[in-house]
Structure 1
Amino acid sequence: SLPVVMADLSIGESAAATIITIPQIAATVVGIPLGVVLDRADSRRTVPAAAGVLFAAGLWSWQAGLSGSYLGLVLSRFLGGMPMIALWIAGTNAISSAFGPEWRATATSLFITGYPVGYALGQVTGPVIGDAFGWPATFPAYTFVLLCLGVVFAFVRRRVAFVDVASQPPRLADFRALLGNRGVWAICAASFLGYSLYMIFNSWLPSYLAGEIGISLAESGLVAALFPAVGIVSRPAGGWLSDAVFGRRRRPVLYLSFAGALVLGVAMGSLRTVALVVVGLALAGFFIQLPLGLLYQFVQEFVDQNVAGTAIGLVSVAGWLGSFVAPVVAGRLIAVSGAYATTFAFAVALAGAGLLAAWASDEPIGHP
């Protein structure tokens, strides 16, 4: 656990937070350039190669942890963030291309759901591995699993005929068309706003529950965990709703998500009983995470397949920027006002902006 790492390395909370966030920072920095590169590469080679680099970074993190090198741990984690985003982009693009249009959003959303599932598994198994072999062993343990999965992917990919593949390498005109597409930027805005909402609730919920509702800090952590856990259901549900209920239209899911977040942002500030707060959290987690898998499919439908990786990179970076910026702004609002009501007002404003982004996105030409 993080307190053990802090004690072993003799570091404070800020330095420990850097260890946690540095892979996402690396992914944000290189996400768009890597998307451009991956549009010109074969996923049969890039996925196992990226998994290999990630495993090497895991071994470096392991050695840095054993030797007590904080700098080595930060640098190795930064290195690991680069293949992490490569696997994210290549995997999303591959899953989308492997299915026909009638179930593509559902498949992509199921793949994206691996993020909260993996997080939950890490929370459960990490302490077990740490107790048995020491916390540094978690790095090579998890990255070795990814290395094996990368090899399996390459084996399966050679035997699966993709439904939608790029007909030619991307040209400069294709990238210009992508960057000039209003729909792409609207989806990037929706990603920024959606992940902002997600992280506002996810980062400030424990302290809000302990300070305002009167739940103990330990109990507040358990209650707050309900919010991301609901994403295991809601993220694939967003893709399924779009494909099966809304006839492959994507915007209704965005409207439903941001409208639900707006209503719940207004209501949450007035809830004072534990039972109502738990229900509100579950609903907020469901609505806010509803489009967080669908967005990665939606953006690809505005561009040619040969620049789909770049489009996924743009949406990914936009979402990560939102997840970094929003909690900081929310914390500043709380510090200045001394009240959590300002955070809920901020969430309502973000949800309202999300509705505008959904309106601006439109449905791509050729879709229902």
Structure 2
Amino acid sequence: MSGLVRTTVTLLFAAWFIDYVDRLAIATVLPVIGKEFSLDLRQQGLVVSVFFVAYAAFQIPGGMLADRFGAKRVTCWALLAWSLCTALTGLAWSFAALLLIRLVFGAAEGVFPAAATKALVERTTVAERMGAQGTIMSSNALAAVAAPLAVPPLAAAFGWRWAFFAAAGLGVLVHFAVRARLPAVQAAVRVRLPAPRAHGLESAAGDAVRMRDVLRMGVLWRFSLMLFGYATVVWGLSTWIPSYLTSERGLSLTSAGVLVALPSLGTAVATWLGGRLSDRMEGHHRRVIVPAMTVAAVALCLMALSPSLAGAIACGTVAVFAVSLCYMPIFAVPLRGLPPELVGVGSSVVVIGGQFAGMAVPPLLGAIAEAASFEVAFAVLALGPVLTIVMALLTPQDTHGFTAALRRTAPPALSVRIAKEPS
């Protein structure tokens, strides 16, 4: 990587890392919060999923904001806003207040993914993009290591509220780092970007028309469904494994945190490896997704059937590793094929599928666990990999096929833009 790309990757890695730490912190102390506010499993699942209601709702507006006001500016706004909400989580005084804060927190984080994706696209070439993005997104897995290792001890020593205050402080520091050090847009990309648009009703109407055109591109929604299947496993396990280990297996919160964190190291490697494979294969996500998601589905079923704790953890680790290997291949073709001015909105359409999963899966699994058992709930998660495999078979495998699919549903003016050299 060039110095510009390394700096970009480092800063966006840090931003995504604190994004996921702030998001996952709630799951690591959910048993404690549930006890303090007298919440059953359905209500605990709602605390997690309400975040995704706003997070999903703000994905596409976040892409529009990034396209209109600039990726760097929107990234900084998001960092500052969600850090404030993280601090407010530590001040929650009731279940209703916690839900409201989590809802606003989801909106603040919701504008970030498209802005961060656009920031990377503007500072990388096609050849290096997925490897860079894979490195950045491995931060999510490392955050899944850090959160359960750091938050429970902080909660045990100072109370769960102080863990959120500490995370908020880190977010503010990352905000200032991104604001001061994120490199300028590459000149080769800048010349292909459209001229800045004037603010006002006319510009807003143009944004609405452009968003409507993008939303009509069915191929993007098929990639979105692929991410839905992926996120079903990720958010189902990350939400309920701590509760499963403490309530069903009798472990302490700190011990459960260690067991949750260790498999996440493999997830970081899998995410990075998925990005490298995507670059080498120039898309062609089916080659990775079909075998990996097959392994994940089988491992989840074996996890549900395992009588021992060691067997359940081993199968869960295999499932998460296999699923994480597919994350970057899902994005490979869209990020290669979307023109620069559509990256914000287009990538947000793909991302929103994962947020719908985060919205629906935690309370659903909580209800299944309460009505039947956690083992049954984990077996149900195997449907996620099956959905991803089906969508992988129904989506274009390279940039040429993707742009052809986009042009079939795009208006004439946009079809001409899509037909040009990829960003």
Q: Specify if TM > 0.5.
A: yes
User: How many residues of Structure 1 are paired with residues of Structure 2 in the alignment?
Assistant: 360
Q: Please give the alpha-carbon distance, in whole angstroms, between the structure 2 residues aligned to 1:72 and 1:273.
A: 39
Distance of aligned partners of 1:271 and 1:79 in 2 relative to their CA distance in 1, 3 Å threshold: closer
Q: Please give the alpha-carbon distance, in whole angstroms, between the structure 2 residues aligned to 1:269 and 1:10.
A: 30
Q: Which residue of 1 aligns with 2:415?
A: none
Distance of aligned partners of 1:343 and 1:94 in 2 relative to their CA distance in 1, 3 Å threshold: same
Give the CA deviation at 1:27. Answer: 1.0
Q: Which residue of 2 aligns with 1:161?
A: 186
Say if 2:46 is the partner of 1:12.
no
Q: Quick check: 292-301 or 228-237, which moved more?
A: 292-301
Q: Which of 315, 323, 332 is 1:288 aligned to?
A: 323
Q: Please give the alpha-carbon distance, in whole angstroms, between the structure 1 residues aligned to 2:121 and 2:376.
A: 40
Show the 5 A alignment for 1:1-368: 1-6=29-34, 10-13=37-40, 15=43, 17-62=45-90, 64-65=91-92, 68=93, 70-130=95-155, 134-159=159-184, 161=186, 164=189, 167-168=193-194, 174-203=210-239, 216-217=250-251, 223=259, 226-244=262-280, 246-265=281-300, 267-268=302-303, 271-272=306-307, 276-330=311-365, 340=375, 344=379, 346-366=380-400
RMSD over aligned Cα atoms: 3.7
Q: Please give the alpha-carbon distance, in whole angstroms, between the structure 2 residues aligned to 1:305 and 1:21.
A: 32
Query: Are 1:52 and 1:147, in contact at CA under 8 Å, matched by a contact in 2?
Result: yes
Distance of aligned partners of 1:162 and 1:238 in 2 relative to their CA distance in 1, 3 Å threshold: farther
Q: Please give the alpha-carbon distance, in whole angstroms, between the structure 1 residues aligned to 2:38 and 2:370.
A: 25
Classify the secondary structure of the residue corresponding to 1:167: coil
Q: Please give the alpha-carbon distance, in whole angstroms, between the structure 2 residues aligned to 1:149 and 1:317.
A: 25
Give the CA deviation at 1:252. Answer: 2.1
Per-residue CA deviations over 1:267-299 (Å, capped at 9, x if unaligned) read: 555555665544433221111121224434543
Query: Are 1:200 and 1:330, in contact at CA under 8 Å, matched by a contact in 2?
Result: yes
Partner amino acid, structure 2, of 1:12: L
- Stretches of 4+ aligned residues off by more than 6 angstroms: 206-211, 334-339
Q: Please give the alpha-carbon distance, in whole angstroms, between the structure 1 residues aligned to 2:259 and 2:38.
A: 28
Q: Please give the alpha-carbon distance, in whole angstroms, between the structure 1 residues aligned to 2:305 and 2:164.
A: 42
Q: Quick check: 100-109 or 292-301, which moved more?
A: 292-301
Distance of aligned partners of 1:141 and 1:89 in 2 relative to their CA distance in 1, 3 Å threshold: farther
Q: Please give the alpha-carbon distance, in whole angstroms, between the structure 2 residues aligned to 1:281 and 1:38.
A: 36
Residue ranges of structure 1 left out of the alignment (5+ in a row): none
Q: Please give the alpha-carbon distance, in whole angstroms, between the structure 1 residues aligned to 2:310 and 2:89.
A: 42
Q: Please give the alpha-carbon distance, in whole angstroms, between the structure 2 residues aligned to 1:167 and 1:98.
A: 13
Partner amino acid, structure 2, of 1:315: V
Query: Are 2:52 and 2:358, in contact at CA under 8 Å, matched by a contact in 1?
Result: no
Q: Please give the alpha-carbon distance, in whole angstroms, between the structure 2 residues aligned to 1:69 and 1:268.
A: 35
Tell me the TM-score normalized by structure 1. Answer: 0.80
Q: Please give the alpha-carbon distance, in whole angstroms, between the structure 1 residues aligned to 2:271 and 2:187.
A: 24
The percent of aligned pairs where both chains have the same amino acid is 17
Q: Quick check: 10-19 or 152-161, which moved more?
A: 10-19
Query: Are 1:205 and 1:224, in contact at CA under 8 Å, matched by a contact in 2?
Result: yes
Residue ranges of structure 2 left out of the alignment (5+ in a row): 1-28, 198-205, 403-423
